[in-house]
Amino acid sequence: MDTVESALAALSDFLWGPPLITLIVGGGLFFLFYSRGLPYRYFGHAIQILRGKYDHPHDPGDINHFQALSAALSGTLGLGNIAGVAVAITLGGPGAIFWMWVTAVVGVATKFFTCTLSILYRGPDSLGKLQGGPMYIIREGLGRRWIPLAMFFCVAALFGTLPIFQINQLTEALRDAILVPQGVLAEESIGLFNLTFGLAVAAVVAAVVFGGIPRVGYVAARLVPSMVVIYLICAAVILAVNIDQIPGYLAMIFSDAFTGMAVAGGILGAMMVGVRQGAFSNEAGIGTEVMAHGAARTREPVREGLVAMLGPMIDTLIVCTCTALVILVTGAWQVGEGMAGAALTAQAFANALGGIGPWIVTLLVVVFSASTMFTFWYYGAKSLGFLIGAEHQHWYKYFYVALIVVGAVVSLEVVIYLITTMYGLMAIPTMIATLLLAPRVMTVTRIYLRQLEDGVHDK
């Protein structure tokens, strides 16, 4: 196991060094300047789309715009914010948060381009059903000779979208933040608890995922918004009590990003960790978000791109920032020795809110991780369907549910390096295809916005 962990760590560190920093951040900056910041000027219109003003029940697709955004956010909000931010601070210091912000700012443009393409280049699977995702963008937009790149994405997605990080953090939060400290769970019973809990969660997830993407969209649209509101209210209370410390820690985030004092190897270390965790948080350029938004019920590609670009704003700039400041102002990042991930965030809430703090975080981790696990099977199943035929993709559900049990018992380090490695590999074909097809996105965008100004879409 040590050899596997070392190999995955080395590969993850290589990928999330200069290669992916250049591809994800550099690519996002290209989209930002190439579009002349055009998507950023239409947030108001994006909200109108999200509220259902332009929904048409007979448009192609499986779920509406709001459900598509909720399904995408259910895969990013939560553990990317609760556990991912804690991991970023633990490995890269406070400066890593700055680089998470950078991925979010440029991620707005990236998501607009990738998710516009998700509708523009939907294609039929082997059963004739219309599908979206990087593999279909590559096949339909770039042509058949690019199929190996599409298959490369699918193979990485089969492993990158496994639920092992979610169940691992859910188990850790319940065990280390609640049961062990309060004496409910003895040290010698931890192994049995991990296995039993993994089996129970697997049963719950199976009940949802075997209902298909419509059920996922339905559940996510009800769980995600309410949990985000509860989390933000709790974080706001903590930050209000410690408001005098916020300016100092904001200054530390900026200075630590450039002074070389970061935990994980100075400036480059903070940048690597921040970009990696930022991408894990908002998934801009990774490709998973493309599959979720590719299921939206619409005939207008630009509409889904505008809705999708709200994700990084909500996910990273708002929720992740609140989590980071809570961890910093409560001092948990300095006194939480041996803690990482969700357990560190739970410690921060305990420092601020007392005994009820870990319970709040655990409840949120339960809901967020469950909603993520409800969503990620869809990505892996679509990838398997592209590789071997949609008529066989249902087999992925069984593999997916079984891996929930495995994720409950393996170490956090192995899980983190496996998922981040696969995320890095998924980003390569997604960003390459999007960069090559960017001119087509701008063509349809100019047409759509010209029609919008002429009032065509209001008729």
pLDDT at 134: 92
Choice between 228 and 444, residue whose per-residue pLDDT is larger: 444
pLDDT score at 377: 81
Q: C-alpha distances in angstroms, 111 versus 77, 287, 309, 427, 430?
A: 15, 9, 5, 12, 11
Pick 251 or 217 by higher pLDDT. Answer: 251
Instruction: Mention every residue, 6+ apart, whose C-beta is less than 8 A from residue 3.
Output: none
pLDDT tens profile 23-32: 888 898 999 9
Q: Which two tokens stand for residue 324?
A: 């980071």
| CA neighbor of 254 nearest in space, from 274, 283, 278, 282 | 274
Q: For strand 123-124 and strand 130-131, is the pairing parallel, antiparallel, or unpaired? A: antiparallel
Of 369, 401, 405, 341, nearest to 191 (Cα)? Answer: 405
In the predicted structure, residue 441 carries a pLDDT above the cut 90: yes
Q: What is the rounded average pLDDT of the residues 393-416?
A: 79
Summarize the confidence of residues 258-284 as an average pLDDT.
Answer: 67
The pLDDT > 90 percentage for the chain reads 13
pLDDT of residue 151: 94
The winner for highest mean pLDDT among 72-86, 135-149, 297-311, 339-353 is: 135-149
What is the structure's pLDDT at 219? 63
| Contact of 205 with 370, CB cutoff 8 Å | yes
DSSP 8-class letter at 336? -
Q: Which pLDDT score, from 0 to 100, does residue 18 have?
A: 80
Flag whether pLDDT at 336 surpasses 60. Answer: no
The residue whose two tokens read 């080395």 is 10
Residue 188: predicted pLDDT: 67
pLDDT for 222 equals 66
Identify the residue with better confidence: 438 or 49: 438
Across all residues in the chain, what is the average pLDDT? 79
* Residue 395 reports pLDDT greater than 80: yes
Amino acid 31: pLDDT: 93
**What confidence tens digit (pLDDT) does each residue in 158-216 have?**
888 887 777 777 777 677 766 766 666 666 677 777 788 888 888 888 877 776 556 55
At 393, give phi and psi (nearest 5°).
-70, -20
User: Counting beta carbons within 10 angstroms of the beta carbon of residue 275, is it exposed (0 to 12), middle (13 to 18) or buried (19 or more)?
Assistant: buried
Q: What are phi and psi of 63, to 5 degrees?
A: -140, 155
Total tally of structural domains belonging to the chain? 1
Question: Has residue 272 got a pLDDT over 80?
Answer: no
Instruction: Give, in order, the Cα–Cα distances in Å from 3 to each of 10, 393, 435.
Output: 11, 32, 36
| Cβ 358 vs Cβ 178: under 8 Å | yes
Matching residue, tokens 């990838």: 383
Instruction: Please state, in angstroms and rounded to a whole number, the distance separating the CA atoms of residues 434 and 113.
Output: 7
C-alpha–C-alpha distance, residues 456 and 187, integer Å: 65
**Distant-in-sequence, close-in-space partners of 360: CB < 8 Å, separation ≥ 6:** 230, 234, 349, 353
In the numeric block, which tokens belong to residue 321?
A: 């920032």
Tell me the residue range of the domain where 352 lies.
Answer: 2-458
Concatenated DSSP letters of 132-157 = -SHHHHIIIII-GGGHHHHHHHHHHH
The rounded distance, in Å, linking the Cα atoms of 312 and 39 is 13
Q: What's 344's domain CATH number?
A: 1.20.1740.10
Render pLDDT for 111-159 as a digit per residue (tens, 0 to 9): 999 989 988 998 888 888 888 889 999 999 998 899 999 999 999 998 8
Are the C-beta atoms of 102 and 287 separated by less than 8 Å? no
